[in-house]
Amino acid sequence: MGTLEAVLLTIATAATPLLIAAVGELVVERSGVLNLGVEGMMVMGAVTGFAIALMTGSAWLGLIAAIIVGALFSLLFGFLTLTLVTNQVATGLALTLLGLGFSGMLGEGFVGQPGVKLASVYIPGLSDIPLVGKLIFGQDPVFYISIALTAAVVYFLFKTRAGLTLRSVGDNHGSAHALGISVIGIRYMAVMFGGGCAGLSGAYLSLVYTPQWTENMTAGRGWIALALVVFASWRPWRVLAGAYLFGAVTIGQLHAQALGFGIPSQLLSSLPYVATIIVLVLISRNKRLTMMNTPASLGRPFVPDR
């Protein structure tokens, strides 16, 4: 396996968790809800996936459990913001803080234990094609799920009636309510979808990216996923492009660290965070474009008047 092939493969591994979490959050935000708890749901998914895989010996069961826990955890956020109409920003922060705390407590006994790694796909013949063989036919299964998920979300949002309904809820919840659409019900489902995606994304970190558990192992990836949604101006394919851009930055700085170059490793480690700020600035400086694409009801509380 050549160096270039290895680099491209690891970029995909770094991009996949960002893509899954960001596509989930995109659906949530398209329904008009801003859930800043992605980091918390992700880290809960990471600890759940690791623990269940270790106990059952099956990485797949770990992934499934992480999706369920992510979705259930997001219900806490849903209940507060949708039923009790609390401030979405503050509640999202609360979800992140609670998730980081809970996962630290639950995972204490798992620190340092060897994890279970999800096996990659291998198709005889196809996977052996030079350069692109492994890249297209030899990745881990979640990589394919992430691409399929993005395509499915595009189809759902822009080609189905249910997707249109969800977008209408996000753009004008008052009108959607007047048309007899259950605004709160749709938002609950969107929030749970986002939670499931964040859970899966977290489990990918602890079962594929680095098969082990360390406290706070998400290291801000949930927040980067949130930034990706803004960066992509709420379009799923652009989220995919953004995730791979960030994957490239992450892997690039890791390789630069390995090679040395005399650059402090901390400076290189900070690159993904600095890059996030830079792309946010580049995107948001065009106010008209941002205004046009932002779901109009994003973050606004909704109380049906009867």
Partner 1 sequence: MMRIELVKRPQHSVLFSALSPFIAFGLTLVAGAILFAILGKNPASALYFYFIDPLTEVWSLHELAIKAAPLILIAVGLSVCFLSNNWNIGAEGQFVMGAVAGSILPVLFPEFQSWIVLPLMMLMGIAGGAAYGAIPAWLKVRFSTNEILSSLMLVYVAQLFLDWLVRGPWRNPEGYNFPETRNFHDYAVLPEILSSSGRAHWGFLFALIAAVVLWFLLSRTLKGFEIKLLGQSPRAGRFAGFSSSKMVFFAFMTAGGLAGLAGISEVAGAIGQLRPVISPGYGFTAIIVAFLGRLNPLGIVAAGLVLALSYLGGEAAQISIGVSDKTARVFQGMLLFFVLASDALIHYQIRITRPQTERTGEVSHGNA
**Residues 6 or more apart in contact with residue 10 via CB below 8 angstroms:** 251, 254
Half-sphere exposure for 96 (CA within 13 Å, toward CB): 19
Exposure string for 145-166, b = 16+ CB within 10 A, e = fewer: bbeebbeebbebbeeeeebebb
Say whether residue 64 binds partner 1 (CB under 8 A).
no
* Binding mask of the shown chain, residues 18 to 37, with x at each position contacting partner 1 by CB under 8 A: ------------------x-
Site for partner 1 in 152-181 (CB under 8 A): none
> Residues 89, 277, 265, 203: what is their CA dihedral angle, to the nearest 10 degrees?
40
Say whether residue 285 binds partner 1 (CB under 8 A).
yes
**How far apart (Å, rounded) are the C-alpha atoms in residues 67 and 92?**
18
Say whether residue 227 binds partner 1 (CB under 8 A).
yes
233 dihedral zone (left: phi>0; alpha: psi -120 to 50; beta): left
Say whether residue 274 binds partner 1 (CB under 8 A).
yes
* Nearest distance, CB of residue 248 and partner 1, angstroms: 18
CA 166 and chain centroid, separation: 19
- Which C-beta is closer to partner 1: that of 57 or that of 220? 220
Say whether residue 87 binds partner 1 (CB under 8 A).
yes
Give the binding range for partner 1 (CB under 8 A) out of 58-66, 123-131, 149-157, 275-283.
Answer: 275-283
Say whether residue 84 binds partner 1 (CB under 8 A).
yes
Give just the sign of the alpha carbon dihedral 129, 203, 211, 98: positive
At 205, list the tokens. 């970190």
**Contact between residue 62 and residue 48 where contact means Cβ atoms under 8 Å apart:** yes
Say whether residue 67 binds partner 1 (CB under 8 A).
no
User: How many residues line the site for partner 1 (CB under 8 A)?
Assistant: 46
Give the binding range for partner 1 (CB under 8 A) out of 64-72, 90-98, 128-136, 196-204.
Answer: 90-98
Which one among 1, 6, 55, 85 touches partner 1, defined by CB under 8 A?
A: 85
Binding site for partner 1 (CB under 8 A): 36, 76, 80, 83-87, 89-91, 93-95, 97-102, 104-105, 108, 219-220, 223, 226-227, 230, 264, 266-267, 269-270, 273-274, 276-277, 280-281, 284-285, 287, 290, 303, 306
